[in-house]
Amino acid sequence: MNSIFEKFMKLDRRWIFLLLVIICVWAYKAKFTIPILIEDETRSIYDFIDSLPPGDIVFIAIDYDPNNLAELHPMTYAIVEHCWRKNLKVIFSALSQNGPGMADQAIRDISDSMKVDKEYNGVLYKGREIKNGVDYCFLGYKPYYGLVILGMGQNFRLPFPNDYYGTPLDSLPMMKGVINYDQVACVIDLSGGSITDAWIAFGQGKFGFPLALGLTGVMTAQYYPYLGSGQIFGLMGGLLGAAEYESLADNPGRAIDGMRVQLFAHLVIIFFIIMGNIGYFASQRRKKREEV
């Protein structure tokens, strides 16, 4: 019996990879749904946006590179579509160096999906044309994100005299009278790196606007203290956070689709962790016995 568990300890890791690939592909192809338990920290972001009156401005910072796209893109799609269905205006920035092109593509994709009528949570939303400068303003990228965040606190025009497409901010209808964070209902930072720290310290810390975070799974655990201290009002962690938002917004997308795979992949990993640990303790016991 011991030898089976000990074999698990010595198992070539490539067999585990192969098993994970098989399980993940099977779970992706099998069409069934799993329930998504909504956590308070995600619900608070949804409720905040849902309670805003039409015409209010939400600042969404798409601060991630394509390597974090898998976890953070579903959040962007779900939140931005929710904002636009509620007739909110959105200011975008992309302060991660490899992100602006990807962010621009995402904005175009979501704009396209807004053209059709859709029903969310039993409410029918008529399709409409999303116009640059009217429904959104994409500021783009500028280096040294800490200074950019501080600069926007004085005036968006300081770091961004023009938007991503080269149009002066003053000539965009939605930016008339919009000077700095004071005219923004909240900032939602979707980030896969240290830009989040800059938004907390140089943004929320200095200017005091409501801040919510959407983070990669790797980062999530270390940002929970800011939730308890009230420095952020919401937190979405990894694909689970995105799936929760999609579920709340009744807009199932890639995140909910991926949670099925997550469930089975986690089961496989937990199985191997348990087996490896049993093997470890069994081998320790055997060693002790042999010594006696």
Residues forming the site for another protein (CB under 8 A): 14, 17, 20-21, 24-25, 28, 39-41, 65, 69-71, 97-98, 100-101, 140-143, 146-147, 150, 161-162, 200-202, 204-206, 216-222, 224-225, 227-231, 237-240, 254, 257-258, 261-262, 265-266, 269
Strand order in the sheet with 57-63: 136-138, 89-93, 57-63, 186-191, 211-215, 234-237
The residue (of 2 and 154) whose beta carbon lies closer to another protein is 154
Cα gap 120→249, rounded to integer Å = 7
The residue (of 42 and 111) whose beta carbon lies closer to another protein is 42
Min. distance of Cβ 259 from another protein in angstroms?
A: 9
Q: Which two tokens stand for residue 126?
A: 């008529």
- 3-state SS of 44-99 is HHHHHHHCCCCCCEEEEEEECCHHHHHHHHHHHHHHHHHHHHCCCEEEEECCCCCC
The residue (of 4 and 270) whose beta carbon lies closer to another protein is 270
The residue (of 56 and 70) whose beta carbon lies closer to another protein is 70
**Which residues touch 202 (CB under 8 Å, ≥6 apart)?**
146, 149, 150, 153
Cα gap 27→253, rounded to integer Å = 16
Min. distance of Cβ 98 from another protein in angstroms?
A: 6
The residue (of 88 and 232) whose beta carbon lies closer to another protein is 232
Cα angle vertex 112, ends 106, 117, to 5°? 130
Min. distance of Cβ 148 from another protein in angstroms?
A: 10
Min. distance of Cβ 93 from another protein in angstroms?
A: 11
Min. distance of Cβ 53 from another protein in angstroms?
A: 25
